[in-house]
Structure 1
Amino acid sequence: MQLSDSFYKSRKLVDLVENQTSYILEDSAMHIFETHSRAEMVQLQFTTPVLASMFRGKKVMHLRDKPSFEFLPGESLILPANELMSIDFPEAQEDNPTRCLAMEIGEERLRSVIRLMNECMTRPDGNEWNILDYNFHFTNDQSIYQILQRLVYLYTENHPAKDSFVSNMIQELIIRILQVDTRKTFQTKTKELASDYRLAYVVQYIRDNICNPLTIKELSKEACMSESHFYKVFKQEMGISPTDFINEERIQKATQLLANPMYNLKEVFLACGFTNRSYFNRMFKRIKGINPSKYRNRFA
């Protein structure tokens, strides 16, 4: 993720550890933290819910009721208000700083977006959308990455309509994060939910048939829905189209097979349901940011 020129012009480096540059708006704030020296157990706390997202380097996070974990570029973390973080910076250097943003979003702002979702985006399982109340750690998809990149630009520019621009982007960000949370729930608890939730059943069906051709017609039949209704419900609930979800599942399976030298690349892409290598290469690079051969070299 790129920081704008206006950020570098306005920020002042005062501290080597968690140097903070802040941009405060009416119902939100963005803080960009830079660490230029290795450090351990640095404590940080916010009085409002926070979205933290890594730009560069590595942190090791120590949170209440959660095992310690690495926090890496391309990942985000939702933290409830008053969550005390203890952070290690094992790789930070003066010429290679660790960078992270933390975005505070007011609770009333969160509630207003969730009320809107419950009015306009009714869930097929009858449940309501709710505020995340736990430490949710996830990998940014392309849509969330682009929103965060845009927000960094908006917060750091000097524009009279900045508050309005940011407010609209935050609304989209909250919706997409809640969809990611739903998607992750269906992915990690598929078997437990499959008997009660049609989309969880479809996710399990996709996984069981990942090496075979899969169509919207086939999946909508399994979900007992029309094709148009299935597509709409799936995208609304999961945040991505069925086709994109199938490709993500196939690439996830491919990463597991690529770690095993027993499989050559042709065996890998065929086992994951791809019919030609060029399309497999394109999807792998789009989702993982690296081609399959380079990914495999990590395990050599």
Structure 2
Amino acid sequence: MKKIEKIAGSEVVSSWGAQLDTLVENKMTLNHDVAELHLYETFQQADRIELRFNAPVLTSMLNGRKVMHLSKTDPFDYRPGESLLLPTGRLMSIDFPDATIDDPTRCLALTISDEFIRQTVNELNEHTPRVEATDEWQLDTDNYLLQNDTEISSLIDKLTRLFRENNPFKTFFIQNTLKELVVRLSQTQVQTNLLNHTSQHLTTNRLAYVVNYIRNNITRALSVEELCDKACLSKSHFFRLFKSELGVSPAQFILNERIRRAKQILSNPAKSITDACYESGFNSLTHFSSAFRSVERMCPRQFKRQLFGVN
């Protein structure tokens, strides 16, 4: 991204290469048949700037901080790495507490037509149905805040590049990337719901039942055959549906849950790394340290040192 340049003391130039019309929510808009990409920059503090769109919108923070005021929720800080899905016409009232000429707040807003979203979700339900016949893929746009994972961040970056480049296949590339983004967002919502509200789905969703079973038996060895039996699914069907709805393989999910348990144990100053190892289902310190590093990109000792500053 091109750095903001000062001109004649206080004048600035947009990093998007567009003419600078205002210091608050200066906008560059790029069009596609089924979507619009709006790139925003704010160069000074401002309060209660109102914004709404005439289509479902995915907003994503790129730099700086906003304070968002939305209906149905308390005001909250909105930071880089986060995205927000909003329905058609939903009013946003935005504060910019930190924006300056040297450090502007940047974000994007991607509107996608209702019809395109419906078509994509219908296609997903037709070709890759969910594990339960009563459940369907959908995209909830009602004030849905999410942390971008690697895939969603990559798609947002790709769309920003595609909208701005001059390419004879641009329309085709954008449409296919938009379709993937809708699918990824739908997957993320299903995963979040199953993992964060598992107890609500125990009697209606076999994967929620399996997730609960894994968490309740995380300290012992769990075989694939055992999990397939709990889900009443064949091995191949179980693997496909588990990966589709939860985004990882059963083995990776078990590992992630053990590391999550280990982090909770390590957060207790009275517990040691050895305690965390065996109480989270690992049978050797070497394996535990290697597995912890593969998930958290640091060893258990570094994690505990960050929490408590211990050697």
Q: Structures share a fold, TM > 0.5? A: yes
Counterpart of 1:147, as a letter, is L
The runs of 5 or more residues in structure 2 that have no matched partner are: 4-13
Q: Give the C-alpha shift of residue 294 in structure 1.
A: 6.0
- Within 2, Cα distance between the matches of 1:267 and 1:16? 55
Do the aligned partners of 2:198 and 2:208 also contact (CA within 8 Å) in 1?
Answer: yes
The alignment status of 1:96 with 2:103, answered yes or no, reads: yes
- What's 2:56 paired with? 49
Q: Give the C-alpha shift of residue 172 in structure 1.
A: 0.9
Do the aligned partners of 1:4 and 1:156 also contact (CA within 8 Å) in 2?
Answer: no
Q: Give the C-alpha shift of residue 249 in structure 1.
A: 3.5
SS in 2 for 1:93: coil
For residue 238 of structure 1, the aligned residue among 228, 241, 246 is 246
Q: Give the C-alpha shift of residue 299 in structure 1.
A: 6.3
- What's 2:288 paired with? 276
SS in 2 for 1:116: helix
SS in 2 for 1:11: coil
- Equivalent residues in 2 for 1:209-228 (5 A)? 209-228=217-236
Counterpart of 1:282, as a letter, is S
Instruction: Quickly say closer, same or farther: Cα 1:98–1:252, change in 2 above 3 A.
Output: farther
Do the aligned partners of 2:219 and 2:280 also contact (CA within 8 Å) in 1?
Answer: yes
CA deviation profile, 1:47-83 (whole Å, cap 9, x unmatched):
1000111222222221111222222222211110001
Q: Give the C-alpha shift of residue 219 in structure 1.
A: 2.1
SS in 2 for 1:175: helix
TM-score by length of 1: 0.86
Counterpart of 1:79, as a letter, is L
Q: Give the C-alpha shift of residue 21 in structure 1.
A: 1.9
Counterpart of 1:69, as a letter, is F
- Within 2, Cα distance between the matches of 1:21 and 1:270? 55
- Within 2, Cα distance between the matches of 1:4 and 1:218? 54
Q: Give the C-alpha shift of residue 270 in structure 1.
A: 4.5
The alignment status of 1:190 with 2:198, answered yes or no, reads: yes
Q: Give the C-alpha shift of residue 109 in structure 1.
A: 0.6
For residue 170 of structure 2, the aligned residue among 162, 166, 183 is 162
- Within 1, Cα distance between the matches of 2:86 and 2:227? 35
CA deviation profile, 1:226-263 (whole Å, cap 9, x unmatched):
22110111122233333343344444445544544333
Counterpart of 1:45, as a letter, is R
Instruction: Quickly say closer, same or farther: Cα 1:272–1:23, change in 2 above 3 A.
Output: farther
- What's 1:26 paired with? 33
Seq. identity, % = 39
Q: CA RMSD in A?
A: 2.6
Counterpart of 1:297, as a letter, is Q
The alignment status of 1:229 with 2:241, answered yes or no, reads: no
Tell me whether 107-116 or 188-197 shows the greater mean CA deviation.
188-197
Q: Give the C-alpha shift of residue 22 in structure 1.
A: 1.8
- Equivalent residues in 2 for 1:57-136 (5 A)? 57-126=64-133, 127-136=135-144
The alignment status of 1:262 with 2:260, answered yes or no, reads: no
Instruction: Quickly say closer, same or farther: Cα 1:210–1:60, change in 2 above 3 A.
Output: farther
Do the aligned partners of 1:258 and 1:296 also contact (CA within 8 Å) in 2?
Answer: no
For residue 306 of structure 2, the aligned residue among 292, 297, 300 is 297
Tell me whether 35-44 or 148-157 shows the greater mean CA deviation.
35-44
CA deviation profile, 1:201-231 (whole Å, cap 9, x unmatched):
1111222233444443332222121221101
The runs of 5 or more residues in structure 1 that have no matched partner are: none
Instruction: Quickly say closer, same or farther: Cα 1:52–1:230, change in 2 above 3 A.
Output: same
SS in 2 for 1:233: helix
Do the aligned partners of 2:41 and 2:105 also contact (CA within 8 Å) in 1?
Answer: yes
Instruction: Quickly say closer, same or farther: Cα 1:74–1:247, change in 2 above 3 A.
Output: farther
Counterpart of 2:25, as a letter, is E
SS in 1 for 2:74: strand
- Between structure 1 and structure 2, the one with the greater Rg is 2
TM-score by length of 2: 0.84
The alignment status of 1:202 with 2:210, answered yes or no, reads: yes
Do the aligned partners of 2:31 and 2:37 also contact (CA within 8 Å) in 1?
Answer: yes
- Within 2, Cα distance between the matches of 1:40 and 1:299? 38
Tell me whether 112-121 or 219-228 shows the greater mean CA deviation.
219-228
Q: Give the C-alpha shift of residue 97 in structure 1.
A: 2.3
- Within 2, Cα distance between the matches of 1:41 and 1:270? 52
SS in 1 for 2:115: helix
SS in 2 for 1:203: helix
- Within 1, Cα distance between the matches of 2:99 and 2:262? 32
For residue 39 of structure 1, the aligned residue among 42, 46, 64 is 46
The alignment status of 1:153 with 2:161, answered yes or no, reads: yes
Do the aligned partners of 2:29 and 2:36 also contact (CA within 8 Å) in 1?
Answer: yes
